[in-house]
Amino acid sequence: MKTFNFKMSWRTLMFAILLFVTFSCQKDDISDSTQSISGGNANEFNALMASKPAFTQPAEISEPVEIEEEAIPPAQDGEGSPLECYTNYYKAAPGFDEMLALDPTTDVIFPGAILKGESIPTGEYVPIIADRAPITLSASLTNISGSPVVEIKDPKLSTVREGIKLGILDQEVTGATAAKVNFSISEVYSEEQLKLAIGVNYRSAVQKVSGSFNFSKSTYQNKFVLKYFQVYYTIDMDPPKNPSDLFTSVPDINALGSTSPVYVATVTYGRMVIYTIESNYSITEIDSAFKVALDPGNEGSVDAESKKVFSESKVEALVIGGSGSDAAQTVKGPEDVYNYIANGGDYSKDSPGAPLSYKLRYLKQGTPVARVVLSSKYPVRKCDLAFPIYRIELGYIKCNDCKDAGGNIELYGRLTARMVHKGETAGEKVVWEKDRDHALSLGENETRQINRTVPDIQLYRPDYDADYVAIGGHLYERDNNDLGNGDDDLGPVPDKIYLKDIPYGGKHFKVNFEEVVEVGYRLERVK
């Protein structure tokens, strides 16, 4: 019996040991899937990350620099055009701590994503797939019923999306969180420079906006991009103390690349409208018109001058974020955008926002910001009105006080109109002339149409304050005395109309001779 009891005790002991070992192994396996790298492997990995350089990119140039040797000198923009155009080339390389996200459905930009560093300057954004340790995300929302913090056990696109939705966004909203609103406007000169003006780098995201512009041929002189932001909240990842804290096992070293990997540290959510504008108005006029249209105090109404700016410009919009009904709207102009903004200025379950921008940090101790430099060389073609065109017409002669002993008065003399540019006559002269034997007979208050003109006159860079059109002449009233010694001299009456006073659309000017005869001219700036 004792032997049997001993054998039974031995078997029981062996089973207990086996069970303990099995359980311990299972426990170790569970721990390995959720805990970060530790020990010597962690130290080696952290040292490797510390040794990797930042990704290579151009030196930052905050303000555009002109490349003088590549400038194209001024020339008339085609025969008969009033414009003189010149092209200067510039290089620019602005740096961005945050980049714009124009594709809310992207599968590589999400909080906690790890990306290959050398793929950032190229815009490829190659993800690094590895065994990940849990990360902690938090939202800047203050109007939800529960905690704005969530832990993601196995960080990847699907689990991060699910964790943010279930852990944060599905909570009850307890109060309003007004969006932070800002907008900025930039002039765009070429497709190459467009991504700098927008601040976008990921893949072909810039094509979402560039398609709205006609860079090869356009009837408009100027192009602008206006970005309107409503920021609801940010989702931020707690920074790791060491790079190894983000992994449960050492990732494939070759997959990390030759430069320091980066991770998406912050994603900003909200709504955004990007306007593309083609217009002959200046950036100041466009900016002013949009400020009027988007001012909440105006409730979407705009003044006549702003309406004119919009009606004479080509305006398109790319809308990102907001509720489904808002996002589906076609935005045609500032009034539509105001309604869109006014109806969804707060975060809610129905209007949770879309990714607007993101911030990258290097995967190394201290997690410095991975500032992205966008470099471009681009042409800036400018045209100004160097060849204005004017039209001169001698319109009519009118008798205001023409009572004479014989009834009608008889007028003769010479009337002219000529363009004076830099002290000399430019173009042909308008002339009306009658000698005494062929005098013009006019009755009381009678108007005689002359309608005499010359070909339009084109000038090169006139001085609008000094150059002028000389109008007037010298008229006589013929007396019945055949000798002519009784004729009335109505006098020489010259006048100057300066170019600055001649408008588009034309204007009538009058010359009076002794308050007896009125001569009408019409002067017009054609281009």
Are residues 282 and 421 located together in one domain of the fold?
no
- Residue ending a domain, choose from 370, 403, 434: 370
Residue 62 pLDDT level (bands cut at 50, 70, 90): confident
Whether residue 234 is found in the same domain as residue 208? yes
For the question of whether the overall pTM of this predicted structure is more than 0.85, the answer is: no
Whole-number pLDDT of residue 30 = 35
Strand ranges for 256-406 from DSSP E = 262-279, 314-320, 354-362, 372-373, 376-385, 389-399
Question: Are residues 406 and 498 located together in one domain of the fold?
Answer: yes
Is 356 contained in some domain?
yes
Same domain, 400 and 512: yes
The mean of the pLDDT values for the chain is: 83
Q: Do 357 and 410 lie in a common domain?
A: no
CATH number at residue 312: 3.90.840.10
Q: Are 188 and 226 in contact (CB under 8 A)?
A: no
Same domain, residue pair 247 and 295: yes
Q: What pLDDT sits at residue 271? A: 84
In a domain, 6, yes or no: no
- Say if residue 355 is in the same domain as residue 428: no
The answer to whether residues 392 and 362 belong to one domain is no
Which of 370, 405, 438 is the last residue before a domain boundary?
370
Residues 260, 321 within the same domain: yes
240 lies in some domain: yes
CATH code for the domain in which residue 504 is found: 2.60.40
pLDDT single digits (tens) 405-460: 557 888 999 999 999 999 999 999 999 999 999 999 888 889 999 999 999 999 99
- Residue 9 in any domain: the answer is no
Say yes or no to pLDDT of 258 above 70. yes
In a domain, 36, yes or no: no
pLDDT, tens digit, 9 for 90 and up, residues 338-361: 666 666 566 777 777 889 899 999
Predicted pLDDT at 228? 84
Q: For residue 43, tell me if it sits in a domain.
A: no
320: domain range? 98-370
pLDDT at 7 over 50: no
Residue 120 Cα distances to 110, 191, 239, 250, angstroms: 15, 20, 20, 23
197 shares a domain with 312:
yes
Residue 18 lies in a domain: no
Q: Which of 339, 370, 401 is the last residue of a domain?
A: 370
What does the pLDDT read at residue 11?
41
Residues 134, 151: Cα–Cα separation, whole Å:
7
* 321 shares its domain with 420: no
Asked if residue 161 belongs to a domain, the reply is yes
Residue 329: is its pLDDT beyond 70? Answer: no
Other Cβ atoms less than 10 A from the Cβ of 189: the count is 21
Contacting residues for 55 by C-beta, under 8 A, at least 6 apart: 117, 118, 120, 121, 259, 260, 262, 370
Domain check: are 301 and 437 in the same one? no
> Any residues with CB less than 8 A from the CB of 433 and at least 6 apart, and which?
413, 414, 415
Q: Which residue blocks in 324-373 are alpha helix, DSSP H?
A: 324-327, 334-342
* Domains: count for the chain: 2
